[in-house]
Amino acid sequence: MNPLGRRGPRAAWVLPCAAAALAMTMMAGCSSDDDDDELPPVAEAPQPEPPAPEPEEPKTCLQLSDTGELIDPLAPPAEGAPEVGSGYASKGVVYARTYMAIAANPIATKVACDVLARGGSAVDAAVATQMVLNLVEPQSSGIGGGAFLMHYDAATKEVVAYDGRETAPAAATENYLRWISDDERTTPRPNARASGRSIGTPGTLHMLDAAHRDHGRLSWKELFEPAIRIADEGFSISPRMSASINGSRTQLSRDPEAREYFLNEDGSAKAAGTLLKSPALAQTFRAVADGGIQAFYTGEIAQDIVDEIADTTGDITPGLTTLEDLAEYESKKREAVCTHYRQYLICGMPPPSSGGITVASALGVLENFDLGRFGPSAVDREGGHPSPFGVHLVLEAERLAYADRNKYIADTDFVPLPGGSWNSLLDKTYLRQRANLIDFTMTMGIAAPGDLGPVPFGLAQPIVERGTSHVSIVDKEGNVVAMTTTIESGFGSFHMTRGGFLLNNELTDFSAQPVD
């Protein structure tokens, strides 16, 4: 079975150059262990001439909805705003001369732009953005969860990976999610996810503090001011947030704090356009702004987290997280996964994220095809129509990459990669062999992983995830942040602390049942 260590495996896509306008600053970021002499050094690679940027306007960074209007946190949302629905949408490229911020909610994006306009760093903007996302997109991320952050330093050309994912409590055993105890061998109630057993020790704040100590310019305290103001004054619930609440209203109703915050008295979801305030979260933010992360990992907030996880109201199975688990939590700095793709050097998040290796693997397969022949047609300012064959190649490459990801990539603190390094998965010869498996006329269906030797543990069942958010930021100096932040599934464990934030269900990434 999958090992129940202190940290869960994760498949988040965390690639700094994946967002628009970020690849340019990542190309010269770091060295690679790949010794393929056929690839030209990044510094010598010819650079394509970018299209001329649009004339800069003072509000360019703030044109955040499809209508191009500025977002007022107190204004009722337009139909369908602010987030674009799932599925294909043709979009053009956006250019900026000085800085850029991208987040899943325009209120959070505006806060990031405000921080950058004041001379804040990319990390400063990421801290402020995360706090606001905790309010306006609570179903996807927050300080009760975990995150990965990639940082590119424009001055030193260094790429650093910050790992702030949740960890299992010290008392967790291999049967922690399987049954309540050795004496009571029944499934945690009401289920593993909604019990206290799914909750890992949160890491987002610890990671952001570490990144801010390394790369912050503005004070830690002032980065919380926008979120505190929005929590006190309120914001307008977006249609997407309301729809998400409606889809989880039964589970949210089991928790007293979540029920009061997200639902009406009759148990229905609060509607889009409702003014929502969170004095409890404002108080939590003030405590962390004034006292630093120790105010979160020790003291009243920590005790509140432990109490919420241990709560048995409604016959819920409690978790075993302790104050010591919180006080001893440490985020980590890791070496980024960097590999060549054509003339570029692409850097991504290393394990326990599988994102960096998986993206590099897919690109390594695609490198064997002339993708320039299969670009989109009818290209204009709004995007274009993708080539069916180009889409086919990308999908097949991703099938192959995900097959390897599912078999070989886990938390390398506990489960080694084949050969002890990601180089075996990203070897150019190996990926060329994988590319030869692509049929030009039909899909391969479910791809088989490559043969890179045995693995020490069985394969867990795939997990369908609907949580997680991503933030991409470039500051005036060219420093870049790419952060993937999550409470795992939508609304996490459905447990909300008295401090106004939801707790994750990260530990359900582990296999509850033994597998061969």
Angle of helix 106-117 relative to helix 225-233, nearest 10 degrees, comes to: 140
Tell me, yes or no, whether 125 and 160 share the same domain: yes
Domain that holds residue 433: 355-408+416-454
- Which of the 8 DSSP states describes residue 458? P
Cis peptide before 352 (omega within 30 of 0): yes
Tell me, yes or no, whether 490 and 361 share the same domain: no
User: Locate tokens 């956006």: which residue?
Assistant: 94
Q: Name the band, by pLDDT with cuts 50, 70 and 90, for residue 188.
A: very high
d(CA 376, CA 386): 4
Torsional class of 68: left (φ above 0), alpha (ψ -120 to 50), beta (otherwise): left
Inter-residue contact 168 to 200 (CB < 8 Å): yes
d(CA 249, CA 259): 8
Distances (CA, A) of 401 to 103, 280, 450: 27, 43, 9
d(CA 142, CA 432): 40
Tell me, yes or no, whether 119 and 142 share the same domain: yes
Look at the alpha carbons of 315, 144, 484, 207 in this order and tell me if their dihedral is positive or negative. Answer: negative
Tell me, yes or no, whether 169 and 55 share the same domain: yes
DSSP assignment string, 146-199: EEEEEEEETTTTEEEEEEE--B--TT--TTTTT-S-SSS-SPPSS-TTTSGGGP
User: What amino acid occupies position 5?
Assistant: G
Known catalytic membership, residue 508:
no
Residue of 204, 317, 321, 468 with catalytic role: 468
d(CA 53, CA 462): 42
User: What is the rounded average pLDDT of the residues 30-47?
Assistant: 33
Q: Name the band, by pLDDT with cuts 50, 70 and 90, for residue 511.
A: confident
pLDDT for 56 equals: 43
The residues near 393 (Cβ < 8 Å, ≥ 6 apart) are 366, 369, 371, 374, 438
Inter-residue contact 198 to 178 (CB < 8 Å): no
pLDDT for 34 equals: 39
Tell me, yes or no, whether 387 and 448 share the same domain: yes
d(CA 426, CA 255): 45
- pLDDT tens digits for range 130-148: 999 999 999 999 999 999 9
User: What amino acid occupies position 508?
Assistant: T
Token reading at 11:
């498949």
Tell me, yes or no, whether 442 and 505 share the same domain: no
- pLDDT tens digits for range 222-281: 999 999 999 999 999 999 999 999 999 999 999 999 999 999 999 999 999 999 999 999
CA 510 distance to own-chain centroid: 18
List b or e across 239-248, with b for residues whose CB sees 16 or more CB atoms inside 10 angstroms: bbbbebbeeb
Look at the alpha carbons of 342, 345, 351, 354 in this order and tell me if their dihedral is positive or negative. Answer: negative
User: What is the rounded average pLDDT of the residues 206-218?
Assistant: 99
Could you tell me if residue 291 is inside a domain? no
- Mean predicted lDDT score pLDDT of the chain: 86
pLDDT for 96 equals: 86
Token reading at 87:
């599925």
Tell me, yes or no, whether 446 and 477 share the same domain: no
Q: Give the residues across from 372 on adjacent strands.
A: none
The total number of structural domains that make up the chain: 2
pLDDT for 385 equals: 86
| pLDDT above 90: residue 362 | yes
pLDDT for 513 equals: 81
Could you tell me if residue 125 is inside a domain? yes
User: What amino acid occupies position 300?
Assistant: E
Tell me, yes or no, whether 488 and 449 share the same domain: no
d(CA 295, CA 285): 10
Could you tell me if residue 164 is inside a domain? yes
Tell me, yes or no, whether 37 and 176 share the same domain: yes
pLDDT for 283 equals: 99
399 three-state secondary structure:
helix
pTM of the model: 0.85
Could you tell me if residue 112 is inside a domain? yes
Could you tell me if residue 380 is inside a domain? yes
In angstroms and rounded to an integer, the radius of gyration of the C-alpha atoms of the chain is 23
Could you tell me if residue 35 is inside a domain? yes
Tell me, yes or no, whether 366 and 492 share the same domain: no
Give the closest residue to 21 by CA, choosing from 342, 339, 481, 474: 474
User: What amino acid occupies position 123?
Assistant: V
Could you tell me if residue 371 is inside a domain? yes
Tell me, yes or no, whether 150 and 194 share the same domain: yes
d(CA 303, CA 141): 21
Could you tell me if residue 303 is inside a domain? no
Inter-residue contact 364 to 400 (CB < 8 Å): no
List b or e across 46-80, with b for residues whose CB sees 16 or more CB atoms inside 10 angstroms: eeeeeeeeeeeeeebbbbbbeeeeebebeeebeee
Token reading at 40:
């030209």
Give the closest residue to 118 by CA, choosing from 12, 7, 225, 14: 225
Distances (CA, A) of 344 to 341, 367, 428: 5, 11, 15
Token reading at 466:
């609907």
Q: Give the residues across from 150 on adjacent strands.
A: 161, 482
Cis peptide before 202 (omega within 30 of 0): no
d(CA 119, CA 125): 10
| pLDDT above 80: residue 220 | yes
- pLDDT tens digits for range 43-54: 333 334 444 444
CA 285 distance to own-chain centroid: 21
Token reading at 84:
């674009």
Q: Name the band, by pLDDT with cuts 50, 70 and 90, for residue 84.
A: low
Tell me, yes or no, whether 59 and 185 share the same domain: yes
Question: What is the domain-level CATH number for residue 432?
Answer: 1.10.246.130
